[in-house]
């Protein structure tokens, strides 16, 4: 199956700083990537849909100025949490649809755990 790589897998930062998370499709091109957030013992909640070369589409309640998404190439999407606060501490996971996969199948990264002190 297709591989999606996320980096960093784990980050701790001070309140007020910004953190960038990268999501790469390693062996396929992804015109669309999806960013999810998962709080402890809860399911994955879609934050935004990232389209290569255009602006991301954010879900209701997700602040686009706080969670900056850039999808500059067919293999890389980034999520930047700006001016992070403790309530932003969560598990962030990206996914992408691979051209080599079955219709509808999404491949997930390993996730990035953010802790804001």
Partner 1 sequence: QKEVEQDPGPLSVPEGAIVSLNCTYSNSAFQYFMWYRQYSRKGPELLMYTYSSGNKEDGRFTAQVDKSSKYISLFIRDSQPSDSATYLCAMRSPGNTPLVFGKGTRLSVIA
Sole residue written with tokens 């980034």: 78
Q: What is the 3-state secondary structure (H, E, C) of 1-44?
A: CCCEEEECCEEEECCCCCEEEEEEECCCCCCEEEEEEECCCCCC
DSSP at 68: E
Closer of 49 and 70 to partner 1 (Cβ): 49
Closer of 1 and 16 to partner 1 (Cβ): 1
CA dihedral 10, 67, 47, 79 (to 10 degrees): -50
The residue ranges that bind partner 1 (CB under 8 A) are 1, 6, 31-32, 34, 41-44, 46, 49, 51, 91, 93, 95, 97, 102-111, 113
Shortest reach from residue 16's CB to partner 1, in Å: 26
Shortest reach from residue 52's CB to partner 1, in Å: 11
Closer of 16 and 79 to partner 1 (Cβ): 79
Shortest reach from residue 78's CB to partner 1, in Å: 17
């Amino acid at each position: 199956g297709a591989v999606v790589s996320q980096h960093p897998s784990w980050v701790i930062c001070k309140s007020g700083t910004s953190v960038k998370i990268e999501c790469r499709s390693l062996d396929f091109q992804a015109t669309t990537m999806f960013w999810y957030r998962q709080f402890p013992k809860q399911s994955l909640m879609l934050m935004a849909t990232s389209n290569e070369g255009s602006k991301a589409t954010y879900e209701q309640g997700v602040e686009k100025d706080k969670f900056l998404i850039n999808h500059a190439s067919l293999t890389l999407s980034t999520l930047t949490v700006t001016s992070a606060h403790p309530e932003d501490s969560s598990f962030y996971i990206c996914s992408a649809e691979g051209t080599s996969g079955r219709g509808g199948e999404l491949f997930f990264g390993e996730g990035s755990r953010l802790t804001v002190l």
